[in-house]
Amino acid sequence: MSLTPQLLVVKDLSTTFDTPAGPLAAVGGVSFDLNQNETMGIVGESGSGKTVLARTVMGLQPRSKVTVSGSVLLNGFEVVGASDVEKQKIWGLQVAMIFQDPMTSLNPVMRIGRQIDEILRVRLGMDRHAAKARAIELLELVGIPSPAERYHVFPGQLSGGMRQRVVIATALAGSPQLLLADEPTTGLDVTIQAQILNLLDEIKERMKMSVILVTHDLGVVATRTSRLIVMYAGRIVEMGSTRDVFVNHRMPYTRALLDGSPKVSNPSHTRLLAIPGRPPNLLKLPPGCSFAPRCSFATDRCHKERPELQPANTPGHTFACWNPLPTNRGASA
């Protein structure tokens, strides 16, 4: 047995939706792993498959109208192909997810404390009294002032930032080892965003969790992740340490994403700038590199053959490109 087992091992994972217009390849051939207590970022344009990937890792895709292949091993549990009954053993307890829209995660007509202690009672088998005490502790942990009083309020009585703290408390109720945070600060103002992200960092350290942070905000991933996955058209096109991806990226799409963004040493909250051209139609992916129609480095080969991920100079850094950018450009960055 390895001394530092990987918490998550994803291999050749694909998620294809059966749509009236034909099969839509939302995630294709994705492989990566995640260590314990690590924060990994996933970045990419809108529609690149970040949410579908996170939901597939969690095992949340419905069985009908979707085909999932490959493997997601979470602490030795195979998520792909598991029944909902089997997945109940890991949902909330080993893996939890914070969704893009916090309002959909909370029941608007149920008091917030009850929403947390219901999880504790149903999933952890706590009695009513213990669950209430733990729910108040969790509200305190996520920085809700006067948690015993706030236990009784409804989600609509809280600000957006406070609601997102409640969502985090709900996700943490079962002490999961992996937290999937999908754009956890969407719709919040910049100061509140920073508070929520700092809170996630603190809790990750305190609970020794691993976190996958899906975001458009390059400032967020620059400072809060150790490794980064860059997605385009449902595939990983570059992956490596956050520093390598920021300063030694080889893939022109990664450069396009990062253009105008800050250096790792001086990050700020910069959102992705729009890249000229449109992402490909996932119902009809081109045979070669999906980025070719938008890439100023594209050659004939790019339009005909798809580049697979290949190793860069640094261990763990991979990229998919026939005409990669030169190395060591960022040695002094």
Ligand X SMILES: Nc1ncnc2c1ncn2[C@@H]1O[C@H](COP(=O)(O)OP(=O)(O)OP(=O)(O)O)[C@@H](O)[C@H]1O
The one among 51, 61, 193, 215 contacting Mg ion by CB under 5 A:
51
Ramachandran assignment for 77, one of left (phi > 0), alpha (psi -120 to 50 degrees), beta (any other): beta
Q: State how far the Cα of 38 lies from the Cα of 212, in Å rounded to an integer.
A: 8
Using the rule CB under 5 A, is 115 a contact of Mg ion? no
**Residue closer to ligand X, measured from CB, 29 or 324:** 29
Using the rule CB under 6 A, is 50 a contact of ligand X? yes
Compute the radius of gyration of the chain from its Cα atoms.
Answer: 21
Ramachandran assignment for 50, one of left (phi > 0), alpha (psi -120 to 50 degrees), beta (any other): alpha
The one among 6, 31, 36, 47 contacting ligand X by CB under 6 A:
47
Site string for ligand SF4, 216-255 (x = CB under 6 A): -----------------------------------xxx--
If one counts every other C-beta atom within 10 angstroms of the C-beta of residue 238, the result is 28
Site string for ligand X, 266-295 (x = CB under 6 A): ----------------x-------------
Kind and range of the H or E run holding 221: helix 218-224
**Which of these segments, 49-57, 124-132, 167-175, 223-231, binds Mg ion (CB under 5 A)?**
49-57
- Residue 126: what residue type? M
Kind and range of the H or E run holding 179: strand 178-182
Cα 224 to chain centroid distance, Å, stands at 13
Using the rule CB under 6 A, is 49 a contact of ligand X? yes
Chain residues binding Mg ion by CB under 5 A are 50-51
> Interface residues with ligand X (CB under 6 A)?
17, 19, 24, 26, 44, 46-52, 282
Enumerate binding residues for ligand SF4 (CB under 6 A). Answer: 251-253, 289, 291-292, 295, 297-298, 302, 307, 321-323
